[in-house]
Amino acid sequence: MKETPVLIPQSTTATPLPSVSVLIPARNAEATIGATIDSVLSQDYEGSVEVIVADGSDTPAMSDLVRRRYPTVTLVPNPEQVITAGIHAAHGAATGEIIVRCDAHTVLPPGYLRRAVSTLQRTGAANVGGRQRPVGATFFERVVAMAMTTPLGAGGGRHRLGGPEGPGDTVFLGAFRRDALEAVGGVDPTLGGAEDYELNWRLRARGETVWFDPGLVVAYRPRGTLRGLAWQYFNYGRWKRVVVRRHPTSLLPRHLAGPLLLLGLAATPVLAVTGPTWAVAAVPLTYALTLALNALTVGIRRRSYTALLLPLALATMHLSWGIGFLTPVRTKRELTAYPRHFRTATAALPSVSVLIPARNAEATIGAAIDSVLSQDYEGSVEVIVADGSDTPATSDLVRRRYPTVTLVPNPEQTAGFGLRAAYGAATGEIIVRCDAHSVLPPGYLRRAVSTLQRTGAANVGGRQRPVGATFFERAVAMAMTTPLGAGGARFRLGGPEGPVDTVFLGAFRRDALEAVGGVDPAFVRNQDYELNWRLRARGETVWFDPGLVVAYRPRSTLWGLAWQYFNYGRWKRVVARRHPASLLPRHLASPLLLLGLAATPVLAVTGPIWAVAAVPLTYVLTLALSSLAVGIRRRSYAALLLPLALATMHLSWGIGFLTPIRTKVRVGSTEPVAPSH
């Protein structure tokens, strides 16, 4: 089929062209990212162009390639590993007046940027985009490409079928006016699909225009397997349901075609028993005839044998979409107003002190400090390392490589004492905690301080993202991000922005921290929860920001995991002894499970037969069913070890909670910390 050429309008003005930022969310795209970046850098646009790649890869292969071949390209991490979070992260680093979205598997045609910006200026639209042109390499891919460009497969969308230039409901990719994009909050990072349609809906609801330009044509590679196609359209359907839940008036009649077809087919067995004979075959026969006639017509018109498989491709798309639409999906965060972390003009920013307690961390402390010193925060930043190491290796490394970093001793060798010692040397108005084994993502300080100022909270923190390198570590990481392993904690599972009981790490207002006496060094573990409890007891707010995500390496051995959770449990007992009201029902789950299992031998002698296996059998079945569900949903064999990891965490925590502990110093001995400046 002959393609519409990209027509370049003649320039009629000498006005400087607006700067452009091209955002490319990518995951494991080392095979295609080069062609994508090359297509951007070779554009003939005469204004400033920057490229930002948001990398959510499982390995460093892609980021290494980008750094080596494209030193001018900006790399930002995407720990969520989804497109929406990647676009949001890249937007946070962008400086252009025009924001252009590009996928890591697409190649922008020559003249794309020049035409897109010209059309934006000519129409005054908020977003200008064009048509997706599916191009298949294999026989099956060509079938899918054909299906996606027929009315039965495209649903009337101009971004699939083409059509006249003018306002539309959505477009493929897009070039956005930055002011319009930021006015509606940008791409919603809570969505796992349908984010382009939802964003364009918000733009149109605000009175802006989304403009379809048929000359902006970008090639697209369809799915290469039937399973891949089914999974793709299943996700399209279920995320469309989420969008409809948020914007009910966005629902169009065509969106209901797949679900209604599915319900009609599902009703066939019922009609076979209760309805008239003709009704039994009405829906399936009508649908089959429609697919067959459509395939015949398209095959003849396009003179292609690929139309023979067109009914299979279309049926897969329709039914998968319908199943997805009828399948409930829980978003990681509820769809409410989400934080914006775009660049804005600000007054003088508060100074920040980053406290890093460390012990024998010479292998990781460099990466932690580098991640702080490379932040784009425009205020003053100081780093204080509290060293409690057994050897001078960590302190020697810090002195040699980071002469501006302040070193303080931590002879007690615990995190609580380390934070207390580092705090004594801090001068910042904002106190940020960082672990020696953590790496703060780009923009972390800027976003944390911005959220503190916006909310007035005493402490702002986000989510811990476990990332395992070995098979066992991946199983533990999976366990820590399931409800059975996280206990409903938002800093583990994610969730909506807002007040919570505790967060991972944290950025504190110094005045609020000093008013409650700072970190209590009596606590070897659980000092973060206990500190946040005191802040909340004083009437302050602890705020969860889902955009603050820091990677974490789980324990690598079963013994290490057991010891970690044993300590979590026994120090939770100490916190509960000091603050009885802080004890929540979920904190008693593991101790009660342990007592229930311990009672089994007694019941074997004194109780009814059914009671003997009640607790262990229920627990084993719960672990097995949960692991099966998680393994299927995440498509990971690491779920095979999930029951072992969860059981270790639960039982170790319960044993720890039931084990008395004597603290080194009197619990509750903290006094308000005097300012050091």
Q: Count up the domains in the chain and report the number.
A: 2
Final residue of a structural domain among 167, 198, 224? 224
Task: State mean pLDDT over 548-554.
Answer: 79
Residues 219 and 358 reside in one and the same domain: no
In this structure, is residue 577 part of a structural domain? no
In this structure, is residue 639 part of a structural domain? no
Order of strands, edge to edge, in the sheet holding 166-167? 74-77, 49-55, 20-26, 98-101, 172-177, 127-134, 210-220, 166-167
Q: What single DSSP character describes residue 599?
A: T
* Residue 27 vs residue 11, higher pLDDT: 27
- For residue 382, pLDDT beyond 90: yes
Kindly state the tokens that stand for 519.
């970190």
**End-to-end distance of the chain based on CA atoms, in angstroms?**
73
**What is the structure's pLDDT at 41?**
92
The percentage of the chain sitting over the pLDDT mark of 90, rounded to a whole number, equals 13
* Residue 7 vs residue 521, higher pLDDT: 521
Task: State mean pLDDT over 606-621.
Answer: 68
- For residue 619, pLDDT beyond 60: yes
pLDDT digits (tens, 9 = 90+) for 629-673: 877 877 878 778 888 888 888 888 788 878 877 655 444 444 434
**What is the structure's pLDDT at 191?**
79
Final residue of a structural domain among 203, 224, 245? 224
**What is the structure's pLDDT at 520?**
78
In this structure, is residue 3 part of a structural domain? no
pLDDT digits (tens, 9 = 90+) for 327-379: 876 654 433 333 333 433 334 689 999 999 988 888 888 888 988 888 888 88
Kindly state the tokens that stand for 512.
């609020």
Mean pLDDT of the chain: 80
**What is the structure's pLDDT at 177?**
92
* Residue 546 vs residue 272, higher pLDDT: 546
Task: State mean pLDDT over 209-215.
Answer: 91
Could you tell me if 285 and 222 are in contact, meaning their C-beta atoms sit under 8 angstroms apart?
Answer: no
What radius of gyration, in Å, describes the C-alpha atoms of the chain? 28
Could you tell me if 492 and 486 are in contact, meaning their C-beta atoms sit under 8 angstroms apart?
Answer: yes
Question: 169-183, 190-204, 274-288, 627-641: which has the minimum mean pLDDT?
Answer: 274-288
Question: 376-385, 425-434, 540-549, 602-611: which has the minimum mean pLDDT?
Answer: 602-611
Could you tell me if 39 and 107 are in contact, meaning their C-beta atoms sit under 8 angstroms apart?
Answer: yes
Q: How confident is the model at residue 429 (pLDDT cuts 50, 70, 90)?
A: very high
In this structure, is residue 63 part of a structural domain? yes
In this structure, is residue 197 part of a structural domain? yes
pLDDT digits (tens, 9 = 90+) for 493-519: 777 788 888 888 889 999 888 888 888
Which position has the token pair 């639209």? 125
CATH of the domain at 41: 3.90.550.10
Q: At what angle do helices 61-69 and 33-41 cross, to 10 degrees?
A: 30
3-state secondary structure 495-544: CCCEECCCCEEEEEEHHHHHHCCCCCCCCCCCHHHHHHHHHHHCCCCEEE
Q: How distant is the alpha carbon of residue 332 from its chain centre?
A: 8
* One-letter identity of residue 172: F
Could you tell me if 561 and 648 are in contact, meaning their C-beta atoms sit under 8 angstroms apart?
Answer: yes
Kindly state the tokens that stand for 556.
């690598």
Q: How confident is the model at residue 280 (pLDDT cuts 50, 70, 90)?
A: low
Which position has the token pair 């775009």? 342
Instruction: Give the whole-angstrom CA distance, residue 437 versus residue 375.
Output: 17
In this structure, is residue 14 part of a structural domain? no
Q: Which residue range(s) make up the domain with 505?
A: 352-562
Enumerate residues 6+ apart whose C-beta is below 8 A from 212: 129, 130, 131, 158, 159, 163, 165, 166, 167, 168, 171
- For residue 236, pLDDT beyond 90: no
- For residue 536, pLDDT beyond 80: yes
**What is the structure's pLDDT at 169?**
85
- For residue 383, pLDDT beyond 60: yes
Instruction: Give the whole-angstrom CA distance, residue 594 versus residue 61.
Output: 45
In this structure, is residue 5 part of a structural domain? no
3-state secondary structure 544-578: EEEEEEEEECCCCCHHHHHHHHHHHHHHHHHHHHH
- For residue 2, pLDDT beyond 50: no
Total-model pTM:
0.50
In this structure, is residue 591 part of a structural domain? no
**What is the structure's pLDDT at 192?**
78
Task: State mean pLDDT over 78-84.
Answer: 82
Final residue of a structural domain among 202, 224, 246? 224
Q: How confident is the model at residue 274 (pLDDT cuts 50, 70, 90)?
A: low
* Residue 381 vs residue 235, higher pLDDT: 381
* Residue 258 vs residue 397, higher pLDDT: 397
Residues 183 and 42 reside in one and the same domain: yes
**What is the structure's pLDDT at 100?**
95
Instruction: Give the whole-angstrom CA distance, residue 499 versus residue 447.
Output: 17
**What is the structure's pLDDT at 579?**
76
Kindly state the tokens that stand for 373.
């010193």
- For residue 36, pLDDT beyond 80: yes
